[in-house]
Amino acid sequence: MILATDHYDSDGILTRIPHRFENVLLDHVDCIKTDVDTRGEFSVTFTPDQPRALFLQEIEDGKSGVIRTALMEILALASIVCTDYPDDGIIIFASISNFIVNGDLPEGTALTGEVVKLKDKGNFVRCRGHIGTATNPQLASGELMAFVISKAQLADHPSTPKIVDIPTLTHDIPIDPSAFNKAPEMVVCDQLRKPYSDGTVIGQYRYPSTHPLTKGHFPGNPIMMGIMQMLAIEDVCAVAFSQEPAAIGKMVAGQCQIIRTDGALIAEIKNFEVEIKADRAAFSATKKVVFRESIRPEDTVLIYLYDITIT
């Protein structure tokens, strides 16, 4: 039985999420509360004339499409819109599970999807969702876990990061962002610190204070988007493998740690899969992403890929 339905257009969405500017990746959300669950039905379209065009890249023959990890952000935003939390609260995403992408989303294609709020436990919120188009109804799916905390609590309880060993760095090879098929600001790898060998490769990235996404994520409290950390894997794979003929058309799989240069473990991305194409890499799946710490402007991190297989 439907108990209530709330309709949110683009203006209404802004009343439900802290994101602004390029970071608003939704056009419409219907939040439907039933006696069984709460679900959100949403839609969005990406076109080159929008601020969110920053999330577009060339996918083939001059055609543009949406950066694949942005599909997970869409699910996260729809989940926030349909979650009740206090006015002084903020939702912090702790993990992503079972994220799968089946192909590309061309620009101008109407995207629709649904998120379902699963059973809450304390301050933790769990959701799962899927995204599709008319021609690819199973484009992407994934699950999220987040926790609700007041802004005062967040300020009063600084985290104590887990410190890990810095992997051995063997090179300092600068990366030219203009060589990628997307906006240079969306290239999340500045340097190759260890080329691929022995199942490992390491990239490095400094999150600049001038990055356009600092304005909208979040206003007055800039934090690097979690999906940008996943995008870093894609970019390191593009640098390491997209020019290797033996890797073209294959899948790179492995594990990843995002490590700040002081040794703080920022995130763990487990069992990732990245498709290697002739001119780019394309994120395809991950079993689990655990976010431990935030990346703030001017932080420098290492993208450490290990246990790599190519099939």
Per-residue pLDDT of the chain (311 residues; tens, 9 = 90+): 888 899 999 999 999 998 889 999 999 999 999 888 899 999 999 999 999 999 999 998 789 999 999 999 999 999 999 988 777 777 888 999 999 999 999 999 999 999 999 877 777 889 999 999 999 999 999 999 998 877 666 666 667 899 999 999 999 999 999 999 999 999 999 999 999 999 999 999 999 999 999 999 988 889 999 999 999 999 999 999 988 888 999 999 999 999 999 999 999 999 999 999 988 999 999 999 999 999 999 999 999 999 999 99
Report if residue 152 sits inside a domain: yes
What sections of the chain are H helices per DSSP?
Answer: 10-14, 70-81, 151-156, 226-241
- Are residues 150 and 244 both part of a single domain? no
Could you tell me if 114 and 188 lie in one domain? no
Q: 290 in a domain, yes or no? A: yes
Residue 144 falls inside a structural domain:
yes
* pLDDT at position 263: 98
Same-domain status, 76 and 130: yes
Which of 111, 131, 156 is where one domain is finished?
156
Q: How many angstroms separate the CA atoms of 112 and 304, rounded? A: 34
Cβ burial, residue 165 (10 Å; 0-12/13-18/19+): exposed
Kindly state whether residues 211 and 278 are assigned to the same domain.
Answer: yes
Residue 168 within any structural domain of the chain: no
The answer to whether the beta carbons of residues 57 and 231 sit under 8 Å apart is: no
Cβ-proximal residues to 42 (8 Å cutoff; 6+ apart), any chain = 26, 27, 28, 29, 30, 74, 78, 81, 112, 113, 114, 115
Q: How far, CA to CA in Å, does 120 sit from each of 38, 79, 191, 276, 291?
A: 11, 13, 41, 38, 19
Is 72 part of a structural domain of the chain?
yes
The verdict on 54 and 83 lying in the same domain is: yes
- Looking at the fold, whether 150 and 199 belong to one and the same domain comes out as no
Res 122: pLDDT = 72
List C-alpha distances in Å: 50 to 21, 23, 117, 177: 10, 11, 29, 22
pTM: 0.95
Picking from 89, 124, 156, the residue at the C-terminal end of a domain is: 156
pLDDT for 172 = 96
- 136 and 20 in a single domain? The answer is yes
For residue 295, is it within any domain? yes
pLDDT at 92: 83
250 shares a domain with 110 = no
Q: Are residues 251 and 179 in the same domain?
A: yes
Same domain, 106 and 26: yes
Domain membership of residue 79 as a residue range: 2-156
Contact indicator for 170, 194 with CB cutoff of 8 Å: yes
> Does 165 map to a domain?
no
The pLDDT score that the predictor gives to residue 157 is 61
